[in-house]
Chain A
């Protein structure tokens, strides 16, 4: 089984969350907000590229816009394979969290 890394998982989730607005800058800003720290360009784009290469994401380029100096946006979208991968991660996580002794989170999974 080819498990996603934590960063990849976060990125796929961000793409899912942002839906039609899922392009580089938005993804990075969103993740920076969640993580509470500024992410570098490389930290986001390298996994994005890898995820695309592995077929979890597809991408298309928008028309160029002025505020971007005449450059286009590259939008990302989850593929079916990407959705599967997320589901897989989710089920593994669920299993790992299930039936744990109390670790003081005040939250016991069902």
Chain B
């Protein structure tokens, strides 16, 4: 019976050779029994034998394997000790790269734990939509949906157990007695707490969000308002005199994609006629309302998604026929974090692509270190080959040799893990201080290190690294034929070790070159942006948020201040990342173009030091500028089809379909953010619709001015507290600039690690080749070779390899950097200097590494090398 024979064959692989005769006995008995008692009985006897003996078989093979493991351990240890420098290079290189990976693993463990604290988390979904807003050319995915959607879905689709209404935009300043505190948060209906599983530290979760005017506070915001006082049941007053009763303290010490300092009851909105009518208009409510659904247990989400598309045509259709709302998508709760980046996200969500980006880097760095392991192990195959030969002669088969080398590499990976966690301890605070981490409150807590999930992930990762690193060397080394190896012949079929070593070195240095050049270019771009000419005056400017104070009152008051040079009004602060988009068009062009708009008063151009090229400034005396005039930038003029700024003067253009006359043309300035220049700009004369007072201070007087500012503000009796920013600081704290620093930091670290690891690998190889050619060097010296000759001889091969990696890496890094540079309009450009610097730096480090070894070998006295034989 082939079945039983093959079982024996399989068993053969698991039990030691020593016991193979036993399997022979079993087979013989089986054949015997077939003849004597028939197949059925023979099978029965066979199986009963196997089953009765299985525990004993397993025990035997375990004993055998542990015995061999001890042997492997001993050999590994001896090898580590014998070649300390190689071991150091392997372990340290792996540890350095693994620490980066461990960090990313920690980050991922943390990020994937979002929103899974609720027992319902696998049944909650969010509906998101593909929507084309009037401000964009293309449709975008929005996290929001019309406010009425939840009710419609709950009513008409049996899969939906319950809908949860959430609405953003609950923020403002709240007063309790003397304390005024700005709070941010959202509105949520009464099913929010039970469905998402948030717990209340104080208060009744069933009723906390039922009544209009209920508010939940986080422990931090409660403490800020009430101190140690009891908060529950107290009243806080929002501006506009809406009273809120604190109905609970919500435990926010959970990983959730919601970000809030407070949650107000959704019924507050529905009880108010004004907001109620806003909610009923689906287009108005759609930018800030979120629809979460608790689905029935066996709901088919795919099917549900295709079913609910019909809601668009029945409820949210446009009369024009071309619907703005294109499509609904069902997004499971646990896939919100690390999901796609959506517009109008409810909280701070880490977009998935950032995680993939980090994972990609981590994998590359690990590969560089794994490459080291592979090439160093293969380089040493001369020594290990003999061991393999002897083992084979003594009866080891290929499988057990592979096992041995895999065991060895896994062991080295685990020793690296120890050092990697030490490096990780140092990396972690650095990582947490990155802006995109700290700003979004995504810090990785160090106590996550002891989380069983993390430990398991670390161990699994280490095992994988060990196996990947040992895979090729073990196959390579185990392929040696003992007879040839013991004679000293080392050529194996297939990809020879030498070629592989070369490929590895080239790819390591190619990666290193790309990393270092890219981080140089990023740094240059950063410096360029930091020093860029914004096109407006950034010195001695203070921006004050008007809030409820009238601009004219503030201006009247500030102009009396001897430190103030001028005061202007504006709707936007330029170059800090936020824009007002408008569509503009002239008769000379066919399609509307997008422009950034600023609503300003007549002093803005002069206060900001903008350059009026042609035409005139706004003039209040005309009386018609408010409704008829527009000032455009030269870039806008160009894009609107006017050849010169002067040509635009007096022409009519439309701004969001409103016809306006161009009265002046200003020089373009940076309006959105330092990455972008040359965006068309329009300025409208609407002093009444501004949000900031732009104050130009006399040089050096800023501290004096600020000292008196709060007193001035208090005299207006505003319900808000004073909010101001110094323009220069505001530009420097621009999130986009700081994220740029994050990128430079990450890439710089990766570049440093990959260069370090590549050079370590090079060091190992140089050491090894110097060691192996020690006799040759001795003879060459005796025959009259100079130290230079020998250094050149030993380094030549590596210099060629590094040269090749430059040939690949330089164009590649140009290509990669050009890719992102094309998206940037305000750019430093790619200069040969950066590429040369990067290449020279790597060349220098590599030469230093090889040279030190070559020089050492070249300088030894030939007598001491040659005497030993």
Contacts and interface: CB of A to CB of B under 8 A. Distances in A.
A25 B52 CA distance: 16
Contacts of A73: 21, 24-25
A74 B21 CA distance: 6
A76 to B, nearest CB: 11
Interface in B13-48: 20-29, 31-32, 45, 48
B53 A42 contact: yes
A71 B20 contact: yes
Interface residues of B, number: 22
A95 interface: no
Contacts of B53: 40-42
Contact of B5 (A42, A45, A69, A72): A69
Contacts of B5: 69
B22 A45 contact: yes
Given A40-B52, A40-B53, A42-B53, A71 B31 contact: no
Contacts of A69: 5, 8-9, 23-24, 27
Given A40-B53, A41-B49, A72 B25 contact: no
A77 interface: no
Most buried by A among B8, B25, B28, B45: B25
Prevailing SS type, chain B contact patch: helix
Contact of A67 (B9, B20, B28, B49): B28
A65 B32 CA distance: 14
Interface in B752-807: none
A25 B26 CA distance: 8
A71 B25 CA distance: 9
Contacts of B26: 41
B844 interface: no
Interface string B52-75: 110110000000000000000000
Interface string A11-38: 0000000000001110011000000001
Nearest to B59: A42
Given A40-B49, A41-B22, A41-B49, A71 B56 contact: no
B24 A68 contact: yes
Interface residues of A, number: 21
B23 A42 contact: no
Contact of B56 (A23, A24, A29, A42): A42
A3 interface: no
A68 B28 contact: yes
Contacts of B55: 42
A71 B52 contact: no
Given A45-B22, A69-B9, A25 B56 contact: no
A31 to B, nearest CB: 13
Nearest to A68: B24
A74 B25 CA distance: 9
B52 A67 contact: no
A24 B65 CA distance: 24
Contacts of A25: 25, 28-29, 32
A68 B53 CA distance: 19
B45 A71 contact: no
A68 B25 contact: yes
B24 A46 contact: no
Contacts of B8: 69
A61 B27 CA distance: 16
Contacts of A74: 21-22
Contacts of B56: 40-42, 46
Contacts of A40: 49, 52-53, 56
Contacts of A42: 52-53, 55-56
Contacts of A46: 56
Nearest to A27: B25
B472 to A, nearest CB: 33
Most buried by A among B5, B21, B27, B49: B21
A50 B589 CA distance: 100
Contacts of A72: 20-21, 24
Contacts of B25: 23-25, 28, 41, 68, 73
A23 B56 CA distance: 19
Given A41-B26, A46-B56, A71 B21 contact: yes
B21 A67 contact: no
Nearest to B50: A41
Interface in A51-82: 61, 64-65, 67-69, 71-74
A85 B217 CA distance: 88
Contact of A71 (B23, B29, B32, B49): B23
Interface string A72-99: 1110000000000000000000000000
21 contacts: A23-B25, A24-B21, A25-B25, A25-B29, A25-B32, A28-B25, A29-B29, A38-B45, A41-B22, A41-B25, A41-B49, A41-B53, A42-B56, A45-B22, A64-B24, A67-B27, A68-B27, A71-B20, A71-B24, A72-B21, A73-B25
What are the nearest 10 A-B pairs in CB distance?
Answer: A71-B24, A68-B24, A42-B56, A74-B21, A40-B52, A41-B53, A25-B25, A24-B25, A69-B27, A42-B53
